[in-house]
Amino acid sequence: MPSSDIGLDKTLAALGVTESAQVVARFAEVRAHFDGQFTTVHDESEWKLFRDRWLGRKSGVLTQITDNWLKPATAELKRAVGQQLNELRAHVETQIEARRAAIETGAEETALARDRVDLSLPGVIRPIGSRHLIRQVFQEIEDIFFSIGFSVVEGPEIETPYYNFEALNIPEFHPVRDDMDTFYLELPPSPDKKAAPTPLLLRTHTSPMQIRTMEKQKPPVRIIVPGKVYRRDNPDATHSFAFHQVEGLAVDTDITFCDFTGTIEYFVKQFFGPSVKTRFRPSYFPFTEPSVEFDVSCPFCGGTGASNGTTCSKCKGAAWIELFGAGMVDPAVYGFVNYDAKKISGFAFGMGIDRLAMLKYGIDDIQVFFQNDVRFLRQFP
């Protein structure tokens, strides 16, 4: 409302007001303006503007009335103007104060409503993770070996050729290196420019930990080594360039091939159940002598090669499943760790965990272990 609309910028004389009845009428008009504007004030910022427009000391409506109407009023009208102005001021001040209180409680109510806890709303669901199937199988295997006196050690996934090959009796140009060819790391040049950097590689098996453990401790040794290993394999349903193994090593003064077969059989029966049968076939590893491949009778067809009248899909009719490589530790290996090959003996084995897990849980593609698809993972809570 421009104040000129109701003549606030002019004196009463200029507005032609000469009688107190006209004064009353003028003030009634101002009050009507006030009441009209008042209905548009809803929140704190509108309220502040409105208060300043009416009560502002410099140019508020009441100040203008004082300056333009009251002060220059004629002696006859001054009393009436003064009285009207007081009434108007009282009205304006009470109304403005009342509106402030109303806005404040209104805001409080909205805040209260906003903060009110609705106990009927569903809570925040925090999904609980579970251990990966491979981890679970590691744990199962560890528990079985714990129960017969083995302890767990872990080792580096990045190895030197010495631990991965040489100390395991695999010299540089030995043909078995071809099977295990793996990923070598590209190394920064050594600070001593003349020295060639020691090559490093991703370990191809957990066997280097046989050497690292025997270097550190004297017999007796009874360890298993769970961990990841790497080979330059093309991925398919049974191959992956990264997979998992559990290595085992037992060395003491009196360990025989019988201890070896007994331990392995115990493990397999604990893992697959007491009805599986076991067999050894001669094999070759440079770090065991004699070396064997260890098979179990197929747990799916009960070692018959057939299930439900057709060829068993798990063992492909062979009735046996190849489980892992093993053997008595080759005496040459003891030479690398300063053990006296004449006084001690031992056995070692290495099993592929992914394969074991696939067999036990009926999984037909190794890739699912690495894809982390929750639909798969949820099946093994």
For ligand PHE, the binding residues (CB under 6 A) are 205, 207, 247, 285, 288, 325-327, 348-350
Is residue 130 within 8 A of residue 381, CB to CB? The reply is yes
In the complex, least distance from residue 348 CB atom to ligand PHE, rounded to whole angstroms: 4
In the complex, least distance from residue 207 CB atom to ligand PHE, rounded to whole angstroms: 4
Where would I find the beta strands (DSSP E) of 100-258? 151-152, 158-159, 201-202, 221-230, 242-252
Which residue's CB is nearer to ligand PHE, number 69 or number 230?
A: 230
CA distance 17 to 23: 7
Which residue's CB is nearer to ligand PHE, number 182 or number 207?
A: 207
| Number of residue whose CB is nearest ligand PHE | 350
In the complex, least distance from residue 272 CB atom to ligand PHE, rounded to whole angstroms: 19
Dihedral sign, Cα of residue 138, residue 156, residue 323, residue 181: positive
Where would I find the beta strands (DSSP E) of the chain? 151-152, 158-159, 201-202, 221-230, 242-252, 278-285, 288-297, 306-307, 310-311, 320-329, 345-352
And the tokens for 328? Answer: 């008595």
CA distance 41 to 204: 79
In the complex, least distance from residue 286 CB atom to ligand PHE, rounded to whole angstroms: 9
Which residue's CB is nearer to ligand PHE, number 62 or number 356?
A: 356
In the complex, least distance from residue 260 CB atom to ligand PHE, rounded to whole angstroms: 10
Which residue's CB is nearer to ligand PHE, number 299 or number 327?
A: 327
In the complex, least distance from residue 239 CB atom to ligand PHE, rounded to whole angstroms: 14
CA distance 117 to 134: 43
Which residue's CB is nearer to ligand PHE, number 62 or number 326?
A: 326
Which residue's CB is nearer to ligand PHE, number 62 or number 328?
A: 328
And the tokens for 246? Answer: 């559990």
